[in-house]
């Protein structure tokens, strides 16, 4: 059974077979005219079976028999739950007031010890808003605006927060190079000072890591700051560097090479000017939102950056980024739609907010595609996901229907 855009009411009734949104898992069969599994070619007239929060089976309706007792849901198009590869949602609250803005602590330019999980508010309305629009996983945490602002995490957009929802509690250490991390009144005030401070901290972390791996009686006291950066030194987690201008991107690449650490470039408005250097370094890029404002440090951005980097073989994912104004967040679904109109194919654009984003974040074994054994995170649409007149009509996370709102 399929439903077009004009049949939203009918589709709402079909989704309603599941009843009101409930935390109780069920055995569910999702039927769709098209299923984009992101693990192969799209499936026409397909079925996804969900059992105990996992994908049990997916395939053409002619080959997948729905067992007795499974409740059925129908949609025109089904995709994996969408993934936002970099956000500050949950730390930057929807009210846009000082009391709900936790993305940057301004008391010091270097604070890698700050944990995202300690500030993340799963009940913020922006988390709910993204969830209703099919975004089921976000990479969020401390944001741009300080030389080292803190840690990030990968979490599912469920509420309230649970240990199951946190896929990666300490995903990356977030840093910023360029204008937004510089200050006219305190260090760092220039680019060279910022890099000198960053290098100094990494040198300390390397020494700390070596000392802590030595004899127990010589390890000394714990140092939370150095512990966080020591994980970067040991390549356990990447350094996420927000940098837009070519000079800052090049500086980030030099630091990563000097200390032999994993680097993820974020934003990277000038990335299309440095394609060969980025590819040679083997560094993935969380590309700036396609509709980011072009001005100041982002004056050279292009709506074709994602396509340019992808064509060069550089791993990419799309993001919502940080917005200092209301509504505080973008929606990666719409950013991917623009990328699809600016050089990426439909499948490549969808991959940038599903399986490619999952790979970049290291969670591809759990999310990002519709495959047997993976988490049952699905976004249901009444039309082409990238068509402006289409709607998200249902969202599942871990096999639970978390939204039946038509958006």
* Angle (nearest 5°) at CA 90 between 87 and 91: 85
249 vs 317: CA distance, rounded Å: 17
Structure confidence at residue 25 as a pLDDT band (50, 70, 90): low
Radius of gyration of the chain (CA): 22
Per residue in 246-286, pLDDT tens? 999 999 999 999 999 999 999 999 999 999 999 999 999 99
Q: Which CATH class is domain 82-361?
A: alpha beta
Tell me whether the omega of the peptide bond preceding residue 160 falls within 30 degrees of 0, making it cis: yes
When pLDDT is averaged across residues 147-169 and rounded to a whole number, the result is 96
25: number of CA atoms within 13 Å, CB side? 14
5-80+369-403 folds as: Urease, subunit C; domain 1 (2.30.40)
253 vs 120: CA distance, rounded Å: 30
Give me the helix-helix angle, 224-233 and 191-212, nearest 10°.
90
300 vs 374: CA distance, rounded Å: 39
When pLDDT is averaged across residues 361-376 and rounded to a whole number, the result is 98
345 vs 341: CA distance, rounded Å: 8
* Sequence spans of domains, the chain: 5-80+369-403, 82-361
Spatial contact of 370 and 58, defined as CB atoms under 8 Å apart: yes
Spatial contact of 338 and 347, defined as CB atoms under 8 Å apart: no
Per residue in 28-42, pLDDT tens? 999 999 999 999 999
Q: Which two tokens stand for residue 288?
A: 């700036």
pLDDT at 19: 39
175 vs 239: CA distance, rounded Å: 7
The DSSP-derived string for 267-319 is E-TTGGGSHHHHHHHT--EEEPPTT---SGGGTT--TTHHHHHHHTT--EEE-
141 vs 217: CA distance, rounded Å: 35
Per residue in 41-69, pLDDT tens? 999 999 999 999 999 999 999 999 999 99
188 vs 399: CA distance, rounded Å: 47
Q: Would you say the CATH fold of 82-361 matches that of 5-80+369-403?
A: no
Q: Which helix H or strand E contains 11, and what residues bound it?
A: helix 8-15
Per residue in 59-115, pLDDT tens? 999 999 999 999 999 999 999 999 999 999 999 999 888 899 999 999 999 999 999
Spatial contact of 105 and 111, defined as CB atoms under 8 Å apart: yes
Per residue in 304-355, pLDDT tens? 999 999 999 999 999 999 888 777 899 999 999 999 999 999 999 999 999 9
Give one word for 245, left, alpha or beta, with left for phi > 0 and alpha for psi -120 to 50.
beta
What is the greatest pairwise CA distance in the chain? 71
355 vs 334: CA distance, rounded Å: 17
- The residues that bridge with 55 in the sheet, in sequence order, are 50
Give me the helix-helix angle, 191-212 and 246-259, nearest 10°.
20
Nearest to 89 by CA among 67, 122, 57: 122
DSSP secondary structure letter of residue 233? H
The 3-state secondary structure of 332-391 reads HHHHHHHHHHCCCCHHHHHHCCCHHHHHHHCCCCCCCCCCCCCECCEEEECCCCCCCCCC
Q: Which two tokens stand for residue 113?
A: 């010890």
The DSSP-derived string for 105-133 is -TT-SB-TT--GGGT--TTSHHHHHHHHT
Per residue in 1-22, pLDDT tens? 333 333 444 343 344 434 344 4
Q: Which two tokens stand for residue 43?
A: 């499936």
């Amino acid at each position: 059974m399929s439903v077009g855009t004009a049949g939203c009411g009918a589709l709402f009734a079909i989704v309603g077979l599941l009843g009101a949104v409930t935390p109780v898992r069920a055995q569910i069969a999702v039927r769709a005219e098209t299923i984009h599994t992101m693990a192969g070619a799209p499936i026409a007239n397909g079925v996804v079976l969900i059992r105990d929060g996992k994908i049990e089976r997916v395939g053409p309706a002619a080959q997948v028999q729905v067992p007795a007792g499974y409740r059925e849901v129908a949609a025109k198009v089904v995709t994996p739950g969408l993934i936002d590869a970099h956000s500050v949602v949950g730390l930057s609250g929807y009210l846009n007031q000082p009391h709900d803005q936790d993305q940057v602590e301004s008391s010091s330019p270097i604070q890698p010890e700050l944990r995202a999980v300690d500030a993340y508010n799963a009940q913020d309305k922006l988390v709910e808003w993204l969830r209703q629009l099919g975004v089921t996983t976000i990479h969020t945490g401390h944001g741009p605006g300080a030389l080292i602002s803190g840690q990030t995490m990968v979490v599912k957009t469920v509420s309230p927060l649970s240990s199951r929802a946190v896929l990666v509690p300490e995903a990356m250490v977030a840093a910023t190079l360029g204008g937004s991390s510089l200050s006219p009144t305190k260090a760092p005030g220039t680019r060279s000072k910022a890099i000198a401070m960053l290098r100094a901290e990494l040198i300390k972390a390397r020494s700390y890591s070596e000392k802590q791996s030595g004899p127990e009686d010589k390890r000394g006291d714990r140092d939370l700051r150095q512990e966080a950066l020591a994980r970067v030194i040991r390549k356990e987690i990447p350094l996420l560097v927000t940098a837009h201008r070519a000079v800052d991107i090049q500086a980030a690449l030099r630091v990563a090479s000097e200390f032999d650490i994993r680097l993820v470039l974020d934003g990277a408005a000038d990335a299309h000017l440095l394609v060969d250097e980025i590819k040679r370094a083997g560094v993935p890029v969380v590309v700036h939102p396609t509709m980011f404002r072009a001005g100041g440090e982002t004056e050279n951005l292009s709506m074709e950056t994602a396509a340019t980097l992808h064509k060069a073989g550089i791993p990419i994912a799309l993001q919502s980024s940080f917005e200092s104004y209301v509504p505080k967040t973008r929606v990666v679904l719409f950013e991917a739609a623009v990328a699809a109109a600016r050089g990426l194919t439909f499948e490549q654009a969808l991959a940038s907010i599903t399986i490619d984003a999952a790979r970049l974040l290291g969670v591809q074994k759990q999310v990002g595609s519709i495959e047997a054994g993976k988490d049952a995170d699905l976004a249901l649409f009444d039309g082409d996901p990238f068509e402006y007149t289409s709607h998200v009509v249902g969202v599942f996370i871990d096999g639970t229907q978390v939204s039946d709102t038509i958006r």
